[in-house]
Amino acid sequence: MRVILNCIAFAVCFSNKTLFSLLYFFSFCCDAVDGWCARKFNQVSTFGAVLDMVTDRPSLVSLSLLALDIASHWLQMYSTFLSGKTSHKDVKDSTSWLFRLYYGNRMFMGYCCVSCEVLYIILLLIAKNQTENLMTVVVESLTQISPLSILLALSIFGWLIKQIINVIQMKTAADVCVLYDIEKQHKA
């Protein structure tokens, strides 16, 4: 459902911003309900977790951040299997307090994830056209004191934390993979 809604939303994103926002937001809500139902009814699967991770990535961010997000999640999932853990969210042994906070506190993780989704919608809604400079849009919006500028600032903060988490996640997962290889060589 989320993939179909996103396809329709992005097909109309520049011609009907209101419809895009509604479809995109509904898609995001479907994702949250799907995850809750999977956990509640014990229908969690590896395939579902990976599919969820891939479909959660928005299409409006720059390709480099999109690549970082997908790669860090993929590597995190891979390192989870190498270390014998059952969930990529099991980071209790991480040395990063921010990483532990992110995966250990659903409210904080939810804030960061929702901030990303809300930020993309706000930026699309306030941009006058698709070629407008993104930094100009953000700066102009933040200089105006309004509920939208406050929501934008809160969203940017959560989005920024999410990008930092992606970098930490990439490094942490890469370290697990390297340690796995070192241990494997010592056993051989």
| Catalytic residue ranges | 56
For residues 38-63, one letter each, b for 16 or more C-beta atoms within 10 angstroms of the residue's C-beta and e for the rest, the string is: eeeeeeeeeeebeebbeebebeebee
Q: Say if residues 59 and 6 touch (Cβ distance below 8 Å).
A: yes
Helix extents (H) in the chain: 2-11, 17-40, 46-55, 63-83, 97-104, 106-126, 134-143, 147-187
